[in-house]
């Protein structure tokens, strides 16, 4: 097939292009060329989607499938107007941040309520309006497309450094600060599994709205499977939300965070989505240990980014936790 990836110069877009090339497809990646190189074997076309005529370099070309990873409603509207034609399979990569309710576990893509979309005059997304902007993007694409709402994407080439915290930390071994309880849920998707499914969707003409995220595991299983795949010798000290927050350990991502941790019950629905429809439609997931091992190999070979608590910050929180235990044991 002739496949156009709008993007393709970083992480998921590049993985999609790479997987499509490996499957023998004729792949074009269209971007500004700022984020990074495109996949080997793909053709690069330079475009700027923020300009009114920014898609002109693609004029006259025909594609059987288009994959768009944009988060900006203006970019999506212009792409739909210029390139979406009957018979062209269209994939829009969205996000589970479109959902209005993060508390209720087990929600499904086809029934869960969405946030209000941003208004039609909003061209660009920001972190503050990311989910609402993606709702507007989805609406601009229409309901004859494959809308893939990704959960946290992990694996080699991740520019965020979020998932990478865990393989990097586990590989050091020793006492590991673990958030919440070993029974809490964790859910994410390996970038290569998501890319494979998106190419599969184009090949098979899959349409509809799905969550693109892997199976739910407990955090205890996740950490021990990853440690075991890395041959790391770790013990886990589970520390509750109140203590973490009192010691300025932050949620999800960024400096001083424990990545992939979200406070419960506020986010009990965010990492517990029902992905049985996606699985029935062909999404498969490799074991988390494989993702952890390959992420670590990539980090080491490329000096890739890792965010989260530093080693000293983790030690300080653990020391405070043990001091509290000792205090509590005093007669
Ligand atoms: N990472 C996660 O954990 C996560 C979770 C849920 C959903 N998602 C979604 O998954 C997708 C991730 O996509 P991704 O990894 O490929 O990263 P991305 O950051 O969404 O990539 C954006 C792509 O668009 C291109 N681009 C940006 N501005 C452009 C412009 N003005 N004109 C032309 N091209 C432009 C960029 O290339 P140039 O800069 O070279 O132009 C890049 O290739 C996104 O849709 C994101 O919302 C991600």
- Closest ligand 1 atom to Cα of 14: 16
Q: Whose CA is nearest to atom 23 of ligand 1?
A: 7
**Structure-token pair, residue 265:** 């019950």
Tens of pLDDT along 7-34? 999 999 999 999 999 999 999 999 999 9
Per the CB < 8 A criterion, the answer to whether 149 and 95 are in contact is yes
Per residue in 267-300, pLDDT (tens digit) is: 999 999 999 999 999 999 999 999 999 999 999 9
Q: Is the CB of 34 under 6 A from ligand 1?
A: yes
Domain boundaries, the chain: 2-150, 165-186+217-271+287-329
Q: Look at residue 189 and tell me whether its pLDDT is greater than 70.
A: yes
Residue 253 Cβ < 6 Å to ligand 1? no
Q: What pLDDT is recorded for position 100? A: 97
Look at the pTM and tell me if it is higher than 0.95.
yes
- Report, as an integer, the average pLDDT of 223-241: 98
Which residues in 22-159 belong to E strands, given as ranges? 26-31, 43-46, 65-68, 89-95, 146-150, 153-154
For ligand 1, say whether the CB of 164 is within 6 Å of any of its atoms: no
Q: List residues bridging with 44 in a β-sheet.
A: 29
**Tens digit of each residue's pLDDT (9 = 90 or more) over 86-132:** 999 999 999 999 999 999 999 999 999 999 999 988 999 999 999 99
| Integer-rounded Cα radius of gyration of the chain | 21
Q: Specify the CATH class of 2-150 in words.
A: alpha beta
Q: How far is CA 243 from the centre of its chain?
A: 28
Indicate whether residue 35 lines ligand 1 (CB < 6 A): yes
Q: What is the DSSP string of 159-203?
A: SS-TTTHHHHHHHH-EEEEEES-TTSEE--EEHHHHHHHHHHHHH
Ligand 1: does its nearest atom lie under 6 Å from the Cβ of 45? Answer: no
If residue 26 lies in a helix (H) or strand (E), which one and from where to where?
A: strand 26-31
- Does 331 score more than 90 pLDDT? no
What percentage of the chain has pLDDT greater than the value 90?
97
Interval between CA 324 and ligand 1 midpoint (Å): 44
Ligand 1, closest atom to CA 11? 15
Mean pLDDT of all residues in 165-190: 98
CA of 293 to the centre of ligand 1 (A): 24
Distance from the alpha carbon of residue 44 to the mean position of ligand 1, in angstroms = 16
CA 125 → CA 199, 210, 230, distances in Å?
26, 22, 38
- Residue 324: the pLDDT is 86
* pLDDT number for residue 329: 73
pLDDT in tens, 244-267: 999 999 999 999 999 999 999 999
Please tell me the residue having the least CA distance from ligand 1 atom 41: 32
The 10s digit of each residue's pLDDT in 22-71 is: 999 999 999 999 999 999 999 999 999 999 999 999 999 999 999 999 99
Q: Is the pLDDT of residue 325 over 80?
A: no
- The Å distance, Cα 46 to ligand 1 centre, comes to 15
* pLDDT, mean over the chain: 97
């Amino acid at each position: 097939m002739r496949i156009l990836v709008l993007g393709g110069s970083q992480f998921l877009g590049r993985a999609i292009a790479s997987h499509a090339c490996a499957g023998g497809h004729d792949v074009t990646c269209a971007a500004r060329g700022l984020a990074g190189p495109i996949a080997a074997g793909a053709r690069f076309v330079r475009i700027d989607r923020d300009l009114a005529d920014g898609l002109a370099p693609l004029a006259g070309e025909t594609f059987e499938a288009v994959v768009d990873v944009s988060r900006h409603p203006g970019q999506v509207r212009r792409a739909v107007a210029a390139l979406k034609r009957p018979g062209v399979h269209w994939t829009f990569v969205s996000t589970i941040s479109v959902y209005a309710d993060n508390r209720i576990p087990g929600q499904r893509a086809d029934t869960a309520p969405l946030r209000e979309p941003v208004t039609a005059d909003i061209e660009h997304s920001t972190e503050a309006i990311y989910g609402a902007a993606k709702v507007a993007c989805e609406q601009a694409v229409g309901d004859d497309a494959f809308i893939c709402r990704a959960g946290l994407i992990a694996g080699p080439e991740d520019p965020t450094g979020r998932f990478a915290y865990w393989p990097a930390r586990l590989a050091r071994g020793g006492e590991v600060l673990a958030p919440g309880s070993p029974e809490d849920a964790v859910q994410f998707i390996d970038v290569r599994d998501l890319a494979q499914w998106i190419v599969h969707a184009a090949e098979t003409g899959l349409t509809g709205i799905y969550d693109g995220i892997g199976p739910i595991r407990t955090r205890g299983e996740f950490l021990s499977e990853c440690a075991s795949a890395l041959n790391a010798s770790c013990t886990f000290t589970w520390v509750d939300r109140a203590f973490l927050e009192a010691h300025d350990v932050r949620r999800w991502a960024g400096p001083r965070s424990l990545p992939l941790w979200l406070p419960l019950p506020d986010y009990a629905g965010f990492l517990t989505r029902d992905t049985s429809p996606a699985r029935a439609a062909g999404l498969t997931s490799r074991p988390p240990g494989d993702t952890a091992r390959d992420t670590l190999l990539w980090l080491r070979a490329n000096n890739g980014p890792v965010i989260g608590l530093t080693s000293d910050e983790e030690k300080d929180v653990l020391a405070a936790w043990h001091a509290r235990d000792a205090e509590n044991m005093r007669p």
